[in-house]
Amino acid sequence: MNPVSVVTGANSGIGRATAIALAKQGHRVFGTVRGLDKAAKLNAMASQADVHIDLVEMDVADDDSVRDGFKQIQSAAGRVDHLVNNAGIGGNAVTEDCSIALYEECMNVNFYGAVRCIQAVLPQMRERRSGTIVNVSSVVGRVAAIAQQPYVTSKWALEGMSEGLAQEVAPFGIRVAIIEPGVTKSAIFAKNTGHPEGSGAYAAAYRRMFQFYAKGISEATDPMEVGELIHEAITTNQPKLRYAVSWAGPGMIAGRMAMGDKAWAALGNHEADADYYAAFERYFSVNIAP
């Protein structure tokens, strides 16, 4: 019997690559999209790969939409073996400039959206005593990247929930995996280019954040690499809780763990961008200089 997998946010980037990667491995894949008209490229790439993706219209930020979407999947397939919570949005702001509304928007999609989907599949996974929940976090779920507080906060929340969830569901034969990509090729960057005007006191923070992504976009990892890693996380006989991947991901996570909190805070003291970029490379083995 072919495994049944649900991939949220399947219309672009990591979600699209993961849906296709799992389908190529024989999964029956339900890809959720906010509108069926947004899935033209997904359909074209699936056709090129000679696979089929079942499309489900779903907005993970809406309770009713998630409930109706999973009802449709349950009716069509009878179960969900693997859930990949990938749907997400970015958000740029330093703490002083960030509105509560922007925090709420990121949390509602990136964190609450994952919780909604998890709650929709866990009862039948528990009953069958099997299943995998894969939560796509980010390098910023482990490293509080500068000037992205709403995004960082939502991903740290996702990581904390995922850690707790892993223990909660282990007695029922359900596994949890956290995927922590660095920069991958995705439409999310084209949609995430602004920041609040705010006080004007944090120009250096915003400038350095955008330089990180300018360098990252030029080096961005093919999202199919992440999709294939997600397949590995689902199928491996030696599962891990966390998987770091993509440009800057492993280096930044390892560097942050090694550098200590004092050095982390002091990184913000560099007045010259060149000194900041040099320190960034020294700590994280990632060159972000222009």
- Separation CA 138–CA 93 (nearest Å): 17
> Domain span at residue 87?
4-199+221-249
The pLDDT averaged over each successive group of 10 residues in the chain (290 residues) is 96 97 98 94 97 98 98 98 97 96 97 98 98 98 97 98 98 98 79 74 96 93 97 97 97 97 97 98 97
The answer as to whether 16 is a domain residue is yes
pTM: 0.96
The predicted structure's pLDDT at residue 232: 98
Question: CB count, 10 Å around CB of 284?
Answer: 22
The predicted structure's pLDDT at residue 190: 56
Active-site residue, 243 included? no
Give how far the C-alpha of residue 121 lies from the chain's centroid of Cα atoms, to the nearest Å. Answer: 19
The predicted structure's pLDDT at residue 212: 96
Amino acid (1-letter code) at residue 151: Y
Report the CATH number at residue 33. Answer: 3.40.50.720
pLDDT digits (tens, 9 = 90+) for 59-86: 999 999 999 999 999 999 999 999 999 9
The answer as to whether 168 is a domain residue is yes
The answer as to whether 136 is a domain residue is yes
The answer as to whether 254 is a domain residue is no
CB 285 within 8 A of CB 255: yes
The answer as to whether 104 is a domain residue is yes
In this structure, what token pair is assigned to residue 41? 């490229």
The answer as to whether 214 is a domain residue is no
The answer as to whether 65 is a domain residue is yes
CB 76 within 8 A of CB 54: yes
User: Domains in the chain: how many in total?
Assistant: 1
User: Annotated catalytic residue: which of 151, 206, 277, 283?
Assistant: 151
The answer as to whether 140 is a domain residue is yes
The predicted structure's pLDDT at residue 188: 63
In angstroms, the Cα distances linking 249 to 53, 55, 65, 169, 245 are: 29, 30, 32, 27, 5
